[in-house]
Amino acid sequence: MPGERILPYSSPAGTGTRPGGSRWLEDDGVVRAVVQRVRQADVSVDGEVVGSCRPEPGGQGLLVLLGVTHDDSPGSAERLAAKIWGLRILDGERSASDVGAPLLVVSQFTLYADTGRGRRPSWSAAAPREVSEPLVDHVVTALRDLGAHVETGVFGAMMQVSLVNDGPVTLVIDG
């Protein structure tokens, strides 16, 4: 694309050209996720379970709480999906991709809360629905394209999430 600035792979900003030739742009945003290793997880809306992560008995899965900010892009969503799918945080230092672990992805704009002033958080860093909903969907699609079994919550709904965290293992990832 004219005017694109492509940086080398080793760029600490997380932008450039990857081995194999795939590229990303310097101005891509950073989709944020809280990833929890779980024995099980469910998300409910109005008392009805709408998505769940139910690994095989004794197995593990991942609950992913996902936030989007204004300058995030499909490229940042794809990078985050690949990072989550490949994280070696399951037993035996294996990844969800290694064992086919299920994932539950729940959108959560509050991950971009600004608590720097006073006692009332500001949500101004969270992207509006018209920006964030397609990018959350893009992360889910990218995970599925990688081979993941993914269930989701309902975007924009008041949701209740229940889980059995395993470890506990909880990571904050800025894609």
**CATH code of the domain containing 151:** 3.50.80.10
Whether residue 83 is contained in a domain is answered as: yes
- The catalytic position among 109, 152, 155, 170 is 109
pLDDT digits (tens, 9 = 90+) for 78-123: 999 999 999 999 999 999 999 999 999 999 999 999 999 989 999 9
Owning domain of residue 68: 26-174
Low-confidence residues of the chain, pLDDT below 50?
Answer: 1-27
- The catalytic position among 36, 69, 108, 152 is 108
Burial class, 37, CB count within 10 angstroms (exposed 0-12 / middle 13-18 / buried 19+): buried
Whether residue 12 is contained in a domain is answered as: no
Whether residue 153 is contained in a domain is answered as: yes
- The span from the CA of 4 to the CA of 75, in Å, is 14
Q: How many distinct structural domains can be found in the chain?
A: 1
Q: Does the model's pTM come out above 0.85?
A: no
> Is 108 a catalytic site residue?
yes
- The catalytic position among 15, 110, 115, 141 is 110
- The span from the CA of 46 to the CA of 16, in Å, is 44
